[in-house]
Amino acid sequence: MKVFNTLSRQKEEFVPLQEGKVSMYVCGPTVYNLIHIGNARPMIVFDTARRYMEHKGYAVNYVSNFTDVDDKIIKKANEEGVDPSVISERYIAECRKDMKALNVKEATTHPKATEEIDGMIEMIQTLIDKGHAYVAEDGTVYYKTRSFKEYGKLSHKNLDDLRSGGRALLVSGEDQKQDPLDFVLWKPKKEGEPYWESPWCEGRPGWHIECSVMSKKYLGEEIDIHAGGEDLIFPHHENEIAQSEAANGKEFAKYWLHNGFLNIDNKKMSKSAGNFFTVRDISEKYDLQVLRFFMLSAHYRSPLNFSADLMEAAKNGLDRIVTSVSNLNFLMEKAADVPMTGEEQQLFKEAEMYITKFDEAMDDDFNTADAVSAIFELVKFANTNVNERSGKAFIQAVKEEIVMLSDICGLIVEKKAEILDRQIEALIQERQEARKAKNFARADEIRDTLAAQGIILEDTREGVKWKRA
Ligand code: AMP
Ligand code: ZN
């Protein structure tokens, strides 16, 4: 498998630090509002990368943070007259809803900045002790950018070029910097802001330190993949490298992956210009699977243009797969329950070629655009070669391939027949009888059957209660 590494600006063979395991950190959203469709892009594309690596047999430890202390959160909290945690908790909950609807898998860990302050203070102290940071008179702690010789290696910027444009980095209140390139690790509290005790002043962390700390805590000092949108390359990821490598004395991340930007109608997304959509806006018109499919129809590093027409095209594309699977299920119900004939086995070899094609595309820096084309070819194969005369084994095998490849992309293309309430009640009744008859194997089997349908049973004093997960 090859991945494009922003660090080397090349596609490199992916070799994890530990065989069979992948540690991956993806910078998550700042939670002060509903997430927009741009925020959804890294969530979807890196979730797909994760799913593919899991499909290849890697155990992926996936960490993605919520930035829950930030100027915009504080501003909104003050406007509403509530504590900032009310705002951040509200939008974390909303973000999780959107992620679920986009079929983005739950991260192994979803740390929040406000719960990791101790770790941040510890790392900042290490940086001060090692001469990479200093405390200004008002208690602000700055990172001494020039003390890290490799600064600029990710964004391929030269410190002196930065310096000439660097005056712009001097913003009011930050004039205690020794050098315009220095950035904030810790800043003193202001009126009406949340703050924490620290050895330097009551205050709060700068933005960059949280990812260095969470990545180390949940994944270790050296990780395989660090990812996020391309706007994060500079300064966020460059600063993360400076912090982590200076503090730990080890290479922070081996591979740096960045997604391209999502534009709307070929323009930058902008609230004021009116071309701005939240994921929730889109969910009013489309199943969010369509948005996911749309995102995967382009390579993750390319810029992607969002428009009403392209969403319609995505809807039609996804429908083609869903319809094909549903036709196969229909044919399967009536098909003769026989093993594959010689002719079917021969045909199936062709179908398997599309799996190879899919894998080759994904192995080439997660080229989901080509991977989706392979699914389409498989669908075309199914529509052409499966019919009323096909045997059940053949139909099932073809269907399972389509479902499996779609599943790697996180696309749900098979609508599970909804189990009806009365069927559930009947099964619960049967389970009770099985238990009375001490037939525990059957009782457990029924519980598992229901669990597979997302039905959770609860044994209470008043009898068995059930709910849908
Ligand atoms: P933020 O909440 O701004 O820190 O963004 C969270 C994630 O969304 C980061 O990885 C950003 O790079 C990414 N992101 C923000 N806007 C866009 C966009 N228009 N297109 C693609 N990714 C974006
Ligand atoms: Zn980050």
Instruction: Give the 3-state DSSP-derived string for the chain, with helices as H, strands as E and coil as C.
Output: CEEEECCCCEEEECCCCCCCEEEEEECCCECCCCCEHHHHHHHHHHHHHHHHHHHCCCEEEEEECEECCCHHHHHHHHHHCCCHHHHHHHHHHHHHHHHHHCCCCCCCECCEHHHCHHHHHHHHHHHHHCCCEEECCCCCEEECHHHCCCCCCCCCCCHHHHHHHHHHHCCCCCCCCCCCCCEEEEEECCCCCCCECCCCCCEEECCCHHHHHHHHHHHCCCEEEEEEEHHHHHHHHHHHHHHHHHHHCCCCEEEEEEECCEEECCECCECCCCECCEHHHHHHHCCHHHHHHHHHCCCCCCCEEECHHHHHHHHHHHHHHHHHHHHHHHHHHHCCCCCCCHHHHHHHHHHHHHHHHHHHHHHECCCHHHHHHHHHHHHHHHHHHCCCCCCHHHHHHHHHHHHHHHHHCCCCCCCCCCCCHHHHHHHHHHHHHHHHCCCHHHHHHHHHHHHHCCEEEEEECCEEEEEEC
Question: Average pLDDT, stretch 145-153?
Answer: 96
Atom of ligand 1 nearest to the CA of 28: 6
Question: Residue 199 in contact with residue 121, Cβ under 8 Å?
Answer: yes
pLDDT of 80 over the 50 cut: yes
Q: How confident is the model at residue 425 (pLDDT cuts 50, 70, 90)?
A: confident
pLDDT in tens, 431-465: 999 999 999 999 988 988 888 878 888 888 888 88
Which ligand ends up closest to the CA of 233? 1
Atom of ligand 1 nearest to the CA of 39: 8
pLDDT of 169 over the 60 cut: no
Please state, for a pLDDT cut of 70, what percent of the chain lies above it: 96
Q: How far is the CA of 413 from the centre of ligand 2 (A)?
A: 33
Residue 372 CB less than 6 A away from ligand 1 = no
The pLDDT value recorded for residue 174 is 56
pLDDT of 85 over the 80 cut: yes
Which ligand ends up closest to the CA of 28? 1
Atom of ligand 1 nearest to the CA of 30: 2
Cα(261)–Cα(304) distance, rounded to whole angstroms? 6
User: What mean pLDDT, rounded, does the chain reach?
Assistant: 94
pLDDT in tens, 280-294: 999 999 999 999 999
Cα(13)–Cα(364) distance, rounded to whole angstroms? 9
Question: Average pLDDT, stretch 136-148?
Answer: 96
Query: What is the largest distance, in Å, between two alpha-carbon atoms of the chain?
Result: 84
Instruction: Kindly report the backbone phi and psi dihedral angles of residue 62, in degrees, each rounded to the nearest multiple of 5, phi listed first.
Output: -115, 120
Which ligand ends up closest to the CA of 258? 1
pTM over 0.95: no
The pLDDT value recorded for residue 91 is 98
Please indicate whether residue 237 or residue 419 has the higher confidence score (pLDDT).
237
Residue 38 CB less than 6 A away from ligand 1 = yes
Cα(15)–Cα(1) distance, rounded to whole angstroms? 8
Which ligand ends up closest to the CA of 306? 1
Residue 30 CB less than 6 A away from ligand 1 = yes
The pLDDT value recorded for residue 422 is 76
Residue 34 CB less than 6 A away from ligand 1 = no
Residue 228 CB less than 6 A away from ligand 1 = yes
pLDDT of 172 over the 50 cut: no
Residue 29 CB less than 6 A away from ligand 1 = yes
The pLDDT value recorded for residue 101 is 97
Question: Average pLDDT, stretch 213-228?
Answer: 98
The pLDDT value recorded for residue 175 is 67
Q: How far is the CA of 59 from the centre of ligand 2 (A)?
A: 22
Q: How confident is the model at residue 298 (pLDDT cuts 50, 70, 90)?
A: very high
The pLDDT value recorded for residue 166 is 47
The pLDDT value recorded for residue 173 is 52
Q: Which of 39, 226, 237, 300 to mutate to test the pocket of ligand 1 (most atoms within 8 A of CB)?
A: 39
Residue 208 CB less than 6 A away from ligand 1 = no
Q: What is the residue with the minimal CA distance to atom 1 of ligand 1?
A: 29
The pLDDT value recorded for residue 168 is 47
Residue 262 CB less than 6 A away from ligand 1 = yes
Residue 73 CB less than 6 A away from ligand 1 = no
Cα dist from 345 to 169, 396, 402, whole Å: 65, 13, 17
pLDDT of 420 over the 80 cut: no
Question: Average pLDDT, stretch 61-70?
Answer: 97
pLDDT in tens, 25-57: 999 999 999 999 999 999 999 999 999 999 999
Q: How far is the CA of 232 from the centre of ligand 1 (A)?
A: 8
Residue 10, beta-bridge partner list: 5
CA 1 and chain centroid, separation: 20
Which ligand ends up closest to the CA of 212? 2
Q: How confident is the model at residue 165 (pLDDT cuts 50, 70, 90)?
A: low
